[in-house]
Chains A and B, each alone.
Chain A
Amino acid sequence: MDEVDVNARNHESAATVAEAPARATAANRRRIGTVFTYALAIGLGATMLVPFLWMVSTSLMTEFEVYQFPPRILPAKPLWSNYPNALTAAPFGRFFLNSGVMSLFIVFGHLATASTAGYAFARLRFPGRDKVFILFLANLMVPVIVLLIPRFLLVNAMGWVDTYAGLIVTELVGVWGIFLMRQYFLSIPRDLEDAARIDGASEWQVFWRVALPLSKPALATVALFSLVETWKSFLWPLIVTRSMAMRPVEVGIAAFHGLYIRNWPFQMAAAVTAVVPILILFLFTQRYFVRGIQVAGLKG
């Protein structure tokens, strides 16, 4: 909500400023400007959408229609059967189940660790807090590729290769989420918590009953981001899974891609299937995404 408010304020003042000197020319120029802005924005937006539209269109074509020049923009008759055919050519149900299980555990892990650790770093005082926090932040500097081989050897030694445990265990903590929660806790007033303490609530109760309910928007952001990041994660699931039955969606469609390399309608049907869940999620929750990126981006 707050983000929208800020926008509104900005635009209003911008409008007042523009109306200042010569009214007639200004109004004229503004009208042209507005038309130009709309045209540009819609043009750019449409360009951004082309790959997605092309993906959907191709997914409904026959194999014959795909290999025509000049390319067909739309299929003569949408071939819906591409979807069931493509999705039964590989165990897509299993891919989605795997992604779902993986996401569920990791999102929950991120929420639990981010809220507790973030709260401790923001609110609780203990010796060595800042040093430990810097240690946590230092983690963000380490590129994942450095950790990949030793993590794999570790998971392999535990016998967790090609299991859910292997997919999940290394990803349970997100430093980024801890940072975001800390920033959020710092931004909300302490008064309620202090009041609860005076009423005799334990530290745990203060956290659970007072601070956590106040931080629902931040929790939503953390959950969304970890969900999307997990859903999109590719390299780790690629190396830690071996069997088709354990692959998450991303790795699954990459394998599918290798199997049906020239069958573009099949590939596009698979791609659409992979994109749609995130697309729906994103359309309903984009506000939290924007906020998450801005908080993490600017105060870091």
Chain B
Amino acid sequence: MSRLDRAFLLLVALPALIFAAGGIFVAHSSRAALGSDLDGHMAGRAAEYLRQERRSMQARLHDSRDWLAESRGDLGIERFSFYEDTLRVGTLPLDSMPVPLRAAAEQSEAMLAAAQRGQTVLDFVKIDGRPVWLAYVPLPDKLAVLLLTPDRRLARHFHQRTGYELAAYYDDALVPPTVGDWPHELPSALHESLIGFDRTVSTELAGFEVAAAPLKDFDEWDVIGTAIVRRGPGAPALPIAPLLPMAAMIVAVALTVIGVWRAASGRSRRSHRMGWGFARALTPPVLAAAWLAATDAQISARATDTLLELSGAAVSAIDDPLTLPTDQLAALAGVDVAVQRGSSVIASSVDLPERTLTGLEATTGRLRSGRLRVAYRALDMPAGRRLVLLHAPLEDSRKSALLWLAGLYALLAAGVLVFASLASVAERGLELREAITAWSFIAPSLALLLVFSAAPLLFAFYLSFHGWNLLEPAKPFVGVQHYVELASDGLFWNAAKNTAIYSLYVPATMVIALAVAILLNRRIKGVAILRAIFFLPYVTSFVAISIVWQWLYDPDFGLLNWGLGLMGLGPIPWLNSPATALLALIIMAVWIHIGFQMVIFLAGLQSIPNEFYEAAMIDGAGPWRRFWKITLPLLRPTTFFVLVTSIIGSFQVFTFVYVMTEGGPLHATDVIVYHIYQNAWQFLRMGYASAMSWALFAVIFVVTLLQFRLLGQRMAPS
């Protein structure tokens, strides 16, 4: 194997393999993620189902108070046939109850509450380690205590409708599902992991893929247990794994490797060969990536349909769902709902633009309303009504897989380019050994820069055309809307203006820094210490400095106002007033940056040959004249460099604003980077924030280009 072949294997085949592995990983993980998302969704539905069924049970018990009261003493189990699993019914007097039940009832605060307030209350207790529900139904002259174990029945019902096995877990008692077998420690482990979190989790535990959601009490206030679901055999099938694209990817990678290999070892002219080889190498992966992306969208679309199907099943698991208000229905379904009669919407859990749902023909599909795309599923209900479930289409949010592929693809392209470079080594009379070493030296840095700088830069551009909220699954394409909004966003322009004003610290600092540099460019004792002192603020913690200056600026007790007071000035409100806050930041910035600029000026001063000064002194030029005629002109490149780099730096100020003013008061210190940060992480408008950051990038880019051009001209003679 020649050295070139080995280099080829290392630099092209390896990234290609990474690419293939990445594709397979993305395909697999996206399917796994969809599956566990659905499971998590169903866990939430199950919890909601249990909650609402108990709520309706409570209501029904309450409604049947008269009936209960009439059937004094004669409340056998068979009389409550609508709760099949109800084991035993007790009534007051408590003496007639079995001992454990009586004890449980007597200890119950819920009983007291029921007795006092005349409400029907359900309370969870354990008797002999068995979880049961006690219902307290206040009757005119006594309190009926009913012992119920409805969960098995509910679990069976849920399973019939949705295909998901359901288990409920309260504190340390498991209500086992009626179907399937569950290891006992599984629910308790899940329950432990859920404590304190108000969210659903999907996980694999002890070989089971399960999902769990917190089970709330009737008021949706306390978490009383955990609902756990597992996909049963009757559950709707998940979208299949994209085997075909995966195979296509592997073939494509093989073609890549072969194509480049043959291009490198063929007999035609080398440059010609490289061109063709490159094209041949890149085409198959491009096709494969496109295919994968398309399949991924397809799978996501099917997953959306499955989600809506499952939500519909969850709703139909309760009897007569349309008696519930729409917000409860929406909670039960886990998606938004609307109720239609004919073609008009009679109730909806979400504000829909008028006529959105008119002309809904199919039972499932997508509809568009303005910029909004919605997936829906319509269920026919009694009395000519229709329940429409609405959800953002998942396929709209699954573009990140494509971007991940794009990143990997860039790596592959880089590998191919490297190989092209290596293959042309001999042509240019260079050493192959050297070139291979060089590329292996650069490869880690290059790869990291591609993944964490180049790709994010492009991704930010992509983001700026999308509505991107971290918490919303839908990331709709919005075109140039963000840029249009930017142009008329007063707060953005305010931040831009503040940033520009803030950057005025740069020329101010330069004057002082140059003076200090000239002062310290002399042979005086302790000059090293002085330089260190000037430089100190720049290297220390900016957060600490911000805190110290906030204290210095304290309007009542700060050192600065006291000092001004001694001179008969002030007091100045500094950071507390919109008129002076930005000025306060500028003064602090001057203090911080003097040392940094001074060091550069010192280097510039020391590079001016002394002969110039000697000649000038012989001609009788005074110090001022020497400064204006020699120092300043010869320092021009340095001055220019300091000016441009510092201004670019000043555009990116953040820490001081974050710590000292949070952009206030009244947005007086709201600078661009802080504004972007707020939009991205506080208002969660990452797309819009990306548009702003690209605008800033464009400005900095132009400034830098100007720098190169001007600096190039100035440097040219020397």
Q: Which residues of A contact B (CB under 8 A)?
A: 6-8, 10-15, 17, 20, 34, 37-38, 40-42, 44-45, 48-52, 54-55, 58, 66-71, 112-113, 116-117, 119-121, 124-129, 132, 136, 139, 141-151, 153-154, 156-157, 169-170, 172-173, 175, 178, 202-204, 207, 228, 231-232, 234-235, 238-239, 249-251, 253-254, 257, 264, 267-268, 270-272, 274-275, 278-279, 282-283, 286, 289-290, 293-294, 297-298, 300
Contacts and interface: CB of A to CB of B under 8 A. Distances in A.
Interface in B553-569: 556-559, 562, 565
Contact of B519 (A37, A203, A232, A286): A37
A116 B641 contact: no
Contact of B541 (A128, A235, A249, A289): A249
A227 to B, nearest CB: 10
Identify whether the interface residues of B are mostly helix, strand, loop, or mixed. helix
Given A116-B445, A145-B676, A150 B524 contact: no
A132 B516 CA distance: 39
Contacts of A148: 676-677, 680, 693
A251 B546 CA distance: 12
Contact of B548 (A55, A116, A125, A169): A55
B559 A132 contact: no
Contacts, number: 322
Contacts of A286: 528, 531-532, 535
Contact of B522 (A6, A37, A147, A267): A37
10 contacts: A10-B610, A11-B522, A54-B548, A120-B442, A154-B451, A232-B540, A271-B547, A274-B540, A298-B607, A298-B637
A59 to B, nearest CB: 10
Interface in B666-714: 672-673, 676-677, 680-681, 686, 689-690, 693-694, 696-697, 700-701, 704
A240 B613 CA distance: 54
A125 B536 contact: no
- In the A-B complex, the 9 residue pairs with the smallest Cβ-Cβ separation, listed nearest first, are A11-B523, A150-B456, A124-B438, A126-B435, A271-B544, A203-B437, A294-B603, A150-B459, A120-B441
A169 B551 contact: no
Given A125-B434, A149-B693, A264-B551, A136 B449 contact: yes
B452 A17 contact: no
Given A66-B557, A145-B696, A249-B541, 4 more contacts: A58-B551, A120-B439, A146-B694, A170-B452
Interface stretch (B43-51, B153-161, B335-343, B591-599): B591-599
B456 A51 contact: no
Contacts of B254: none
Contacts of A294: 599-600, 602-603
A178 B672 CA distance: 29
Contact of A113 (B445, B459, B535): B445
B577 interface: no
Interface in B518-543: 519-524, 527-537, 539-543
A124 B437 contact: yes
A48 B428 CA distance: 57
Contacts of A40: 519
A145 B673 contact: yes
Given A125-B431, A146-B697, A169-B452, A274 B680 contact: no
Contact of B557 (A14, A67, A282): A67
B549 interface: yes
A145 B449 contact: no
Contacts of A251: 543
A199 B425 CA distance: 24
Contact of A253 (B529, B547, B565, B701): B547
A117 B440 CA distance: 9
A45 B534 contact: yes
Nearest to B450: A135
A254 B617 contact: no
A249 B540 CA distance: 12
B655 interface: yes
Contacts of A68: 557
A282 B442 contact: no
Nearest to B437: A203
A55 B421 CA distance: 57
A19 to B, nearest CB: 11
Given A144-B652, A275-B544, A298 B449 contact: no
B525 to A, nearest CB: 8
Interface of B: 400, 404, 417, 421-422, 424-425, 428, 430-431, 433-435, 437-439, 441-442, 444-446, 448-449, 451-453, 455-457, 459-460, 463, 470, 516, 519-524, 527-537, 539-545, 547-549, 551-552, 556-559, 562, 565, 591, 594-596, 599-600, 602-604, 606-607, 610, 613-614, 617-618, 637-638, 641-642, 645, 648, 651-652, 654-655, 658-659, 672-673, 676-677, 680-681, 686, 689-690, 693-694, 696-697, 700-701, 704
Contacts of A271: 541, 543-545, 547-548
B370 to A, nearest CB: 26
B659 A257 contact: yes
A267 B607 CA distance: 43
A126 B434 contact: yes
Nearest to B549: A51
A14 B610 contact: yes
Given A126-B434, A283-B532, A298 B522 contact: no
B543 to A, nearest CB: 5
Contact of B460 (A52, A124, A146): A146
A52 B536 contact: yes
Contacts of B527: 41
Contact of B442 (A117, A172, A204, A249): A117
B541 A297 contact: no
Contact of A117 (B445, B531, B645, B696): B445
Nearest to B616: A17
A271 B552 CA distance: 13
B435 A124 contact: yes
Nearest to A141: B704
A286 to B, nearest CB: 5
Contact of A54 (B470, B529, B559, B680): B559
Contact of B536 (A37, A66, A124, A282): A282
Contact of A254 (B543, B606, B607, B618): B543
A297 B641 contact: yes
A282 B641 contact: no
A81 B562 CA distance: 27
B613 A127 contact: no
A172 B654 contact: no
A154 B533 contact: no
B614 A13 contact: yes
Given A146-B694, A151-B452, A54 B435 contact: no
Contact of B559 (A7, A71, A141, A298): A71
B559 A279 contact: no
A163 B676 CA distance: 24
A214 B587 CA distance: 42
A275 B603 CA distance: 27
Contact of B524 (A41, A254, A278, A279): A41
Contacts of B535: 282, 286, 289-290
A232 B434 contact: no
Contact of B617 (A20, A146, A231): A20
A143 B652 contact: yes
A217 to B, nearest CB: 16
Given A41-B519, A234-B543, A34 B524 contact: yes
Given A71-B558, A125-B431, A278-B541, A44 B531 contact: no
A14 B613 CA distance: 9
Contact of A268 (B435, B529, B551): B551
